[in-house]
Amino acid sequence: MKPYQRMTIIECGEPLVPIPLEQFAIESPHPYAKLGAPYGNISPYYLRQSVLAALEIAQEQLQQWHPGWRLQIFDAYRPLAVQQFMVQHTFIEVARTEQINPTNLSQEQQQAIWQQVYQIWSIPSSNPMAPPPHSTGAAVDLTLLDATGQKVDMGSAIDELSPRSHPDYYASQPEFSYHKYRKLLRDVMHSSGFQRHPGEWWHFSLGDQMWAWLCNQINNSHNFTARYGCVDDSV
């Protein structure tokens, strides 16, 4: 169990609501859907109501600082079945990258690969006290588009399993603009209450266990709790 999963969840019952796709940029088709992830009739472009409201405020802040720029949403709500699919897909891809047969692995090889996979991916747990962040409807993966509609180069791809995914990887390399843009994305999202995943420049949440844990690291005089637990896959 990761440290943030020890945070108390007091579910507020707030509904998932559709993200107004005319306001934000998205990838189409959805990156996981085109891999065959089992969404069924469920859209990934949903968030809890207050989380969506905060995301809209974040985009307004971005456009005040950089007119014409937009947030591009990579992923938002993720059913547990999709989490399971993507974890298994990533496991197979890591094995293939290392030229190992994913169906014929030693225990040591499996453990080494799982360690890599879980650097980025949360365990697809059905434990109501330890849900994957995206399965709560309170987490979003996103990046920036400039005024010409071009994706801003952030120095690594979303979901990349490498040290480059760490938010501060380029902090000591001023010859690149990557850190400046990662900081811009962070500042925009922080302006409306989101917290950034410590190991992923693209992942932000508001109201889930990770958010509460990060808020407590920043302000230990207040005891933050999570207000969003796992949303049933049938919504």
Active site residues: 200
C-alpha to C-alpha distance for 163 and 227, rounded to whole angstroms: 31
Decide: residue 62, CB within 10 A, 0-12 exposed, 13-18 middle, 19+ buried: buried
C-alpha to C-alpha distance for 162 and 133, rounded to whole angstroms: 21
Q: Which residues, in sequence order, are bridge partners of residue 72?
A: 25, 143
Residue-by-residue DSSP string for 174-196: TTSSHHHHHHHHHHHHHTTT-EE
Residue-by-residue DSSP string for 219-232: -TTS---B---PPP
